[in-house]
Amino acid sequence: MATVAGRAERAGMTLIELLVTLTIFGVVITSAIAFAARQNSAFQESLVRLGALRNLRYALTTLEQDLQTLGTNVPATQPGLLYGGTDVIVFSADYATNVAADPFAVFYDPDAPAGQVAAPVSPLTVPTTAVTVADSAFMVAGVPSPAEVIAFYFEGDSATARTDDFVLYRRVNGGEPDMLARNLLRVGGAPFFSYTRQRMDSTGALSFQPVAVADLPLRHVAPFHLAVADTGQLAWADSIRAVGVTLRATNGLDGSEERRVDGSRVIPLPNAGATVLTTCGSAPLLGVALNAVVGTTPSGDPLVTLAWNPAIDEAGGEGDVVRYVLWKQNLSDPGWGDPYLAIPGGALAYTYEDAAVERGAIYEFALAAQDCTPTLSARVSSGLVAIP
């Protein structure tokens, strides 16, 4: 009985044991909460830095993707690099097309506006400057060149209270600019854009050298490439083979909450100087008929379907046909006037539906092939087409 009573008296916990247990438990909980708080703080910090890093990467990746198209399918008389400054760069490239059969443009976008898939038809002002480029339209046998003019530029951000942050914009021809990234800063005194040119010394050896900031901006004074004015330092724009980009991205906050990420990239220009050939042989041979058939659209409006086969010098011969040029005239017109459409070569057969016709009118269509000189073949006519 004494043994049983002793055991009964020791059942449960004493007050001291309870206090010790609670103290240990409190220490564990406090440590766990502190650890969780540090983890949460580190997670939030990583999110903030990740936002700035993503902003930086998007800006650099977009610049790299587009700048590498500089000079793509650019006719010989159209400059590749039109303007190169510390905050803005303007260049020519056959970047986009809305024609599915176009084998020359870099990207196909069926929804691209007509004004953003060919060269501009009026002078352009370089963003953030008073300089004008493309003083005359870049024409190829009366049709705007397929190479549009693209500009990237950094401009001060007027939407913030800061005076040192910038927005990166992209503009095609004279269209509305697209905002690509904001909360961007300079890295020290470095320019956003820098340039490396290829030069040849007196022995004929080629080398690459950076262009000093004092020698910027680079620009074409003459409206067309290969003009007499394109000599000496004025021709340096033709020798640029790489563009450097240096910038700093932030999370858009000030003070102790601001986070910064620096980045730089040297972007080679593989197509710079690779303009369309200036000689392709003799004038191209067309040698095919242009057929015009009157029909109707699903809504019942009239249209004319034009159809033709590849030219002799595209399917064989010199093989230098790069596009086809179309004319249209109303019987009441005094003459053919300028071409109204250019369609890239490279297809097995060609069709075009022209719904811009009026009931009761009589039209005539004409077709010519164009080589890379550019030289046009003799025109072939469809004959008169009456619209009922």
310 lies in which domain range?
291-386
Question: Omega of the bond prior to 374 within 30 degrees of 0, cis?
Answer: yes
- 5 is a domain residue: no
Q: Is residue 111 part of a domain?
A: yes
Rounded mean pLDDT of 42-67?
A: 78
| pLDDT tens, position by position, 210-257 | 999 999 999 877 766 666 666 677 778 888 999 999 999 988 777 667
Tell me, what's the pLDDT at 222?
Answer: 72
Domain assignment present for 115: yes
Give yes or no: residues 251 and 314 share one domain.
Answer: no
**Same structural domain for residues 75 and 220?**
yes
What is the tens place of the pLDDT at every residue in 81-117?
Answer: 999 999 999 999 999 988 877 778 899 888 888 888 9
User: Are 368 and 381 contacting, i.e. CB atoms less than 8 angstroms apart?
Assistant: no
φ, ψ of residue 282 to 5 degrees: the values are -80, 175
For residues 10-20, average pLDDT: 72
Q: What average pLDDT does the structure give for the chain? A: 84
Contact 53, 44 (CB under 8 A): no
pLDDT value at residue 257: 73
Which one of 234, 268, 302 terminates a domain?
268
Check whether residue 234 and residue 355 sit in a common domain.
no
| Cα–Cα distance for residue pair 184/249, rounded to 1 Å | 5
Q: Is the pLDDT of residue 206 over 50?
A: yes
Same domain, 255 and 298: no
pLDDT at 309 over 90: yes
**Number of structural domains the chain divides into:** 2
Looking at the fold, whether 255 and 300 belong to one and the same domain comes out as: no
pLDDT of residue 373: 73
Q: Assess whether 193 and 251 both reside in one domain.
A: yes
- If asked whether residues 240 and 303 sit together in one domain, one would say no
In a domain, 56, yes or no: yes
Highest mean pLDDT among 34-43, 280-289, 303-312: 303-312
Domain boundary among 236, 268, 300: 268
Average pLDDT on 175-194 reads 94
CATH code of the domain containing 349: 2.60.40.10
Residue 286 domain-assigned? no
119-133 per-position pLDDT tens digit: 888 889 999 999 998
| One domain for residues 56 and 199 | yes
- In terms of domains, do 234 and 100 share one? yes
Residue 12 lies in a domain: no
Residue 252 lies in a domain: yes
Is there a single domain that holds both residue 196 and residue 321? no
One domain, residues 210 and 117: yes
Instruction: Tell me the CB-side half-sphere exposure of residue 151, using CA atoms within 13 A.
Output: 29
Is residue 42 in a domain?
A: no
Contact between 308 and 64 (Cβ < 8 Å): no
Question: pLDDT class for 43, splitting at 50, 70, 90?
Answer: very low
Residues 97 and 60 in one domain: yes
Q: Tell me the per-residue pLDDT of 270-288, one tens digit each, with 9 for 90 and over.
A: 988 765 554 566 788 899 9
Of the segments 30-39, 183-192, 372-381, which one has the largest average pLDDT value?
A: 183-192
Residue 261 predicted with pLDDT over 80? yes
Final residue of a structural domain among 211, 233, 268: 268
- pLDDT value at residue 271: 87
